[in-house]
């Protein structure tokens, strides 16, 4: 089994329910970060996102995780109309233990993750060794918004 991390974000519809459904659809979840509300980065004017990072203990490699991410986005009704535009669900493969991929459709580790507080803060909650120094206090536009599950549970 391999340790891997996915980033998920939503800024359309019932954002929290969309994220919860995406997490529930995965069968290899080890932990889920707290939820963070974040300002959008780049793209057209749009509403705030809810973001999480999901830790997996999985037998899937980076390419299989990409297929799963795209399927989750499709299930959530994501439409790709405008680059960096609003979306029901965005899922990125951040890091897969022991794997590096540099292909046109997939780069792992994610090439821009260290530039994005909305990724690094929730990643630091689950894997501080992968996000040293990142805290919600030091990340502009990133605000804790509770837990995804009921009763404050952050792992399933």
Q: Which two tokens stand for residue 52?
A: 């999480």
**On the CB side of 109, how many CA atoms lie within 13 Å of its CA?**
14
pLDDT at 155 (0 to 100) = 36
8 A C-beta contact, residue 48 and residue 142 = no
Q: Which of 3, 63, 75, 90 is catalytic?
A: 90
Rounded to an integer, what distance in angstroms lies between the CA atom of residue 101 and that of residue 99?
7
| Mean pLDDT (10-residue bins), the chain, 156 residues | 96 94 96 92 80 96 95 84 78 94 90 87 94 80 83 35
Q: Which of 87, 107, 137, 156 is catalytic?
A: 87
125 is catalytic: no
Rounded to an integer, what distance in angstroms lies between the CA atom of residue 148 and that of residue 30?
14
75 is catalytic: no
CATH, domain range 2-150: 3.30.70.560
78 is catalytic: yes
Rg (CA), the chain: 14
Q: What's this model's pTM, rounded to 2 decimal places? A: 0.88
């Amino acid at each position: 089994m391999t340790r891997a991390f996915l980033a998920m974000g939503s800024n359309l519809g019932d954002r929290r329910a969309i994220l919860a459904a995406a997490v529930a659809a995965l069968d290899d979840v080890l932990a889920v970060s707290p939820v963070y509300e974040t300002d959008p980065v780049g793209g057209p004017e749009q509403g705030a996102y809810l973001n999480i990072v999901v830790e997996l203990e999985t037998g899937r490699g980076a390419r299989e995780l990409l297929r799963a991410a795209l399927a989750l986005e499709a299930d959530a009704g994501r439409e790709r109309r405008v680059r960096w535009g609003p979306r029901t669900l965005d899922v990125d493969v951040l890091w897969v233990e022991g794997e590096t991929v540099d292909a046109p459709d997939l780069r792992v580790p994610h090439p821009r993750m260290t530039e994005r507080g909305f990724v690094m803060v929730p990643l630091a909650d689950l894997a501080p060794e992968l996000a040293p120094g990142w805290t919600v206090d030091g990340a502009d536009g990133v605000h804790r918004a509770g837990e995804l599950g009921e009763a404050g549970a952050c792992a399933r």
